Structure 1
Amino acid sequence: MTVRSGRTVRDLRRENRTAVLQRLYFDGPLSRFSLGPVTGLSSGSVSNVVAELVAEGLVEEAGSVDSAGGRPRTLLRIRPDSGYMIGVDVGETRVRIELFDLALTELARVEHPLAPEGPRRTDRFDVGVVVGHLREGIAEVLDRAGIAPERLLGVGVGVPGIVAGTPEDGAVVHGQTIGWDAVPLERLLRESVRLPASVPYYIDNGAKTLGQAEMWFGAGRGADSAVVVLFGSGVGACVVTDDMRPGRAVEWGHLTVRVRGRRCRCGAQGCLEAYAGAEALLERWAEAGGEPPAGAAEEAALTAMLAAAYPTPAPDGTVPEPDATALAVLEETAEYLGAGFADLINLFQPERILVGGWAGLQLGSRFLDSVRAYATSYALAYPAARVRIELGTLGPDAVTVGAAILPLADFFGRGGRPAEADPEEPVPAWRTTLQERAAH
């Protein structure tokens, strides 16, 4: 049956289930009585949906709460062990694989460093090596936790680059800065990773998965619109206009901030990433006469740069002289970032700009005030006065969490039913009759 809006009865049932699951997930435990007002459903609809979800093992009782003048009301919650997700962060320095239950409890984790294997930086992103890390890591986290692959809702993968899709290959990654030219990553994973064909892959830009995590669980909660910035070896961003819907990844790091400026690793000149990414930041420090630790990984080298620019007071209270070169490079970087934030403010007029990623969290606590000041000076006054620029709250591993909730979001969107389990809509008798009539 199709209702007047064009939706079928099955659509309405799925939407009702989605509404109940989302409210139990984000606000639970809740009673049946409380679910009515927050979902907009009648008490009868709530009871029917809850009965289905309990029978399917997705929802369970979680104690009771006293009611005003009546008997205690039973609380309900989503069962954490009713499904599992894997989140993968194909970062610029490592591949991280984590297994979560529905409560986002981390059950197992594996990390594989991406060490350069040749003279070119992109050697570390050899597609075969990355796929091998994912194959081994996915098998290892499932084995450690003792979870059968069939119980996975899906595998979410955050990658650096633009993700497109084709009917033949699924998700295809265009990662210009890492040397990936139309890599059919989904097909390669399906051919290599031993998972049932029913387990879906969700491959998307890492900034987008970070944005999903911060909007659902972090500093973006409650905002109608936000831009979430991923600041690591390079920089990217995700624009979100609805806290419950996926955002849109934008290649913010490749906006031109200086005509005929520094050569970016994408090949163009003057990109923001050529000045503000952690890799470029360390290069600029060395070029200016600084001394990054020899042989140190990017994260350790950036920590050393910050320690040099902002030295810790000695036990006697005296403050050592800061490294003037490191401090000057960081202050210039704050202005470049402020100008880049001003572009985001003028283009999207968000309520919040949230800074995440391992480098963003390291740098932000040191000079976010300077970035805010520059952003305000470069942006239009009206939108600049209405935006809050803050650090993300989910830590440096938020890309993995965001990747894991890609399958969770899709699961909720299907009303908590596996993709292959949607029942076929019965064909009305009149349609069959008329089709048979037309055939004669």
Structure 2
Amino acid sequence: MAERSRRTVNDLRRGNRAAVLQRLYFDGPMSRQALGPVTGLSSGSISNVVAELAAEGLVEEAGSVGSDGGRPRTLLRVSPAGGHMIGVDLGETRVRVELFDVTLTELARAERPLTDTAYDVGVIVEHIRSAVDEVLTRSAVPPGRLLGVGIGTPGIVERAPGGAVVHGQTIGWDAVPLEALLRTACRLPDTVPYFIDNGAKTLGQAEMWFGAGRGAHSAVVVLFGSGVGACLFSEGADQGRALEWGHLTVQAGGRRCRCGAAGCLEAYAGAESVLERWREAGGHPPEGVDEETRLTALLAAACPPDGTAPDPVAHAVMTQTAEYLGAGISDLVNLFQPERVLIGGWAGLAFGSRFLDDVRRHAVAYSLTQPASRVTVDLGRLGPDAVTVGAATLPLADFFARGGRRAAPAADIAPPAWRAALEDRVLG
């Protein structure tokens, strides 16, 4: 006997709403007539769903387009005022917080610089709390309008009953209950969910949605900052998978990594280690400035913008770094055989603007011929804000998956099954 479908009327309605919202978001504006073929819904279902979404302020008219001999067709789009999201980038040089509307237009931002000792959990939580308060106050957006707070963080994120826990070995975080700490500190309404994930994943999701990864069946997005990380996106997977790529061993018994192991890729290719290698080789990184400024100085010495001869020490360090990155990318190519490899992060974009061709050359040389022939290696397109944009897509993706319904308060208890079934019958 065939197993009965467990989908309820509410499930079906939610799926229809999600299909319309997602299609309008990524491909809109579109007419009602155009929505039918691309969503697989009947014209009656489209009309009902659009009417619901418009009544809730999630969809609005966006002009009209002519039709063959008939009346002009009204175009629809997702309304920018349908909700707001906060994206947080827990970088290793600063905490960046941005407030967006549903179309991911930035409404306000706040940044908190970090010192060498500032990855104290209490300091980070306070930076996020004050920055969230700042962007909400400056934009006059009520906290209850938030669809959620997305956070990209270093380390491995574990889902736990009390909320997301972060294992950030390179920053000294051992099972930090970050979500619980933020709920207490930020005091946002219980209806506002938190979505915490690895920063390489949030960067990757932004590039896959809006940047250089859009349209790819498979891609690996690399985050190159103080350390290095990556995220794998493959066809058929709803979400990317964060990879601790920076802790792949590239030299047995090699340089000591921040994680405590020896010979990790990050110990050779992360911005922090690159600057240290420059100093060890006799270079002179500027004192009293942040890591980004020091890396800019290194790149200027290796590739002077005025066309003068490069500093040989700086140039040697950067060409070695290009080889390490290329070799590390070859491991991703051989293991996952992606269609694209994209390099992002503040250091990756700065470094890639000068040494991308070298990285490509080494990646091909160290890779197997067949997967190397199918892959392209490029820079991300979304700039240094990609992590915060990607973090904001986490609550937005959840909102769409719910069919444009807001998440229930965290403390809510699910109703009995009989009540849910009865409501389905009544509402259906």
- TM-score normalised to structure 2 length: 0.95
- Per-residue deviation at 1:9? 2.3
Which secondary structure does the structure 2 equivalent of 1:397 belong to? helix
Structure 2 match to 1:437: none
Contact conserved, 1:223 with 1:243, CA < 8 A, in 2?
no
Which secondary structure does the structure 1 equivalent of 2:57 belong to? coil
What percentage of residue pairs aligned between the two structures are identical? Answer: 70
From 330, 348, 367, the counterpart of 2:355: 367
What is the alpha-carbon distance in structure 2 between the residues aligned to residue 88 and residue 200 of structure 1?
A: 14
What is the alpha-carbon distance in structure 1 between the residues aligned to residue 237 and residue 405 of structure 2?
A: 19
Q: Which moved more, 1:65-74 or 1:238-247?
A: 238-247
Structure 1 match to 2:290: 297
Which secondary structure does the structure 2 equivalent of 1:267 belong to? coil
Structure 1 match to 2:246: 253
Contact conserved, 2:110 with 2:135, CA < 8 A, in 1?
yes
* Runs of 4+ residues over 4 Å off in structure 1: 2-5, 421-424
- Per-residue deviation at 1:427? 3.6
Give 2:53's aligned amino acid. Answer: L
Shift in CA distance, 47/181, structure 1 to aligned 2, threshold 3 Å: same
* Higher-Rg member (1/2): 1
Give 2:420's aligned amino acid. Answer: E
Q: Say if 2:192 is the partner of 1:206.
A: no
From 138, 145, 148, the counterpart of 2:142: 148
Contact conserved, 2:364 with 2:372, CA < 8 A, in 1?
yes
Q: How many residues are paired up?
A: 417
- Per-residue deviation at 1:429? 12
Structure 1 match to 2:404: 416
Structure 2 match to 1:163: 157
Contact conserved, 2:10 with 2:424, CA < 8 A, in 1?
no
Which secondary structure does the structure 2 equivalent of 1:400 belong to? helix
What is the alpha-carbon distance in structure 2 between the residues aligned to residue 5 and residue 286 of structure 1?
A: 64
Contact conserved, 2:149 with 2:395, CA < 8 A, in 1?
yes
Contact conserved, 1:225 with 1:243, CA < 8 A, in 2?
no
Structure 2 match to 1:127: 121
Structure 2 match to 1:215: 208
- Per-residue deviation at 1:428? 9.4
Contact conserved, 1:355 with 1:391, CA < 8 A, in 2?
yes
Which secondary structure does the structure 1 equivalent of 2:144 belong to? helix
Give 2:25's aligned amino acid. Answer: Y
Which secondary structure does the structure 2 equivalent of 1:157 belong to? strand
- Per-residue deviation at 1:244? 7.8
Give 1:188's aligned amino acid. Answer: L
- Per-residue deviation at 1:276? 0.2
Aligned pairs (5 A) from 1:42-121: 42-116=42-116
From 226, 230, 240, the counterpart of 1:237: 230
From 411, 426, 435, the counterpart of 2:421: 426
Give 1:78's aligned amino acid. Answer: V
Contact conserved, 1:216 with 1:243, CA < 8 A, in 2?
no
Structure 2 match to 1:390: 378
Give 1:359's aligned amino acid. Answer: A
From 322, 325, 346, the counterpart of 1:358: 346
Give 1:182's aligned amino acid. Answer: A
What is the alpha-carbon distance in structure 1 between the residues aligned to residue 3 and residue 34 of structure 2?
A: 27
RMSD over equivalenced CA pairs, Å? 1.8
- Per-residue deviation at 1:377? 1.1
Structure 1 match to 2:267: 274
- Per-residue deviation at 1:245? 2.6
Shift in CA distance, 226/429, structure 1 to aligned 2, threshold 3 Å: closer
What is the alpha-carbon distance in structure 1 between the residues aligned to residue 315 and residue 255 of structure 2?
A: 20
What is the alpha-carbon distance in structure 1 between the residues aligned to residue 80 and residue 305 of structure 2?
A: 43
Which secondary structure does the structure 1 equivalent of 2:118 belong to? helix
Which secondary structure does the structure 2 equivalent of 1:236 belong to? strand
- Per-residue deviation at 1:425? 2.9
Which secondary structure does the structure 2 equivalent of 1:237 belong to? strand
Contact conserved, 2:337 with 2:371, CA < 8 A, in 1?
yes
Cα distance per residue 1:139-177 (max 9 Å; x no partner): 11001000100000000011000000211x210000000
Which secondary structure does the structure 2 equivalent of 1:425 belong to? helix
Which secondary structure does the structure 1 equivalent of 2:421 belong to? coil
Cα distance per residue 1:52-89 (max 9 Å; x no partner): 11111111111111111100001111110110000000
From 394, 403, 410, the counterpart of 1:406: 394
Structure 2 match to 1:435: none
Give 1:180's aligned amino acid. Answer: W
- Per-residue deviation at 1:242? 3.8
What is the alpha-carbon distance in structure 2 between the residues aligned to residue 57 and residue 244 of structure 1?
A: 30
Structure 1 match to 2:309: 321
Q: Say if 2:212 is the partner of 1:224.
A: no
What is the alpha-carbon distance in structure 2 between the residues aligned to residue 42 and residue 137 of structure 1?
A: 46
Cα distance per residue 1:306-327 (max 9 Å; x no partner): 11111123xxxxx322100011
Contact conserved, 2:9 with 2:424, CA < 8 A, in 1?
no
From 326, 347, 359, the counterpart of 2:335: 347
Q: Say if 2:34 is the partner of 1:34.
A: yes
- TM-score normalised to structure 1 length: 0.92
Shift in CA distance, 429/291, structure 1 to aligned 2, threshold 3 Å: closer
Cα distance per residue 1:92-145 (max 9 Å; x no partner): 0000010000111111100000113xxxxxx21010010001111111100100
Give 1:287's aligned amino acid. Answer: E
Contact conserved, 1:216 with 1:244, CA < 8 A, in 2?
no
Q: Which moved more, 1:363-372 or 1:230-239?
A: 363-372
Give 1:28's aligned amino acid. Answer: G
Give 1:8's aligned amino acid. Answer: T
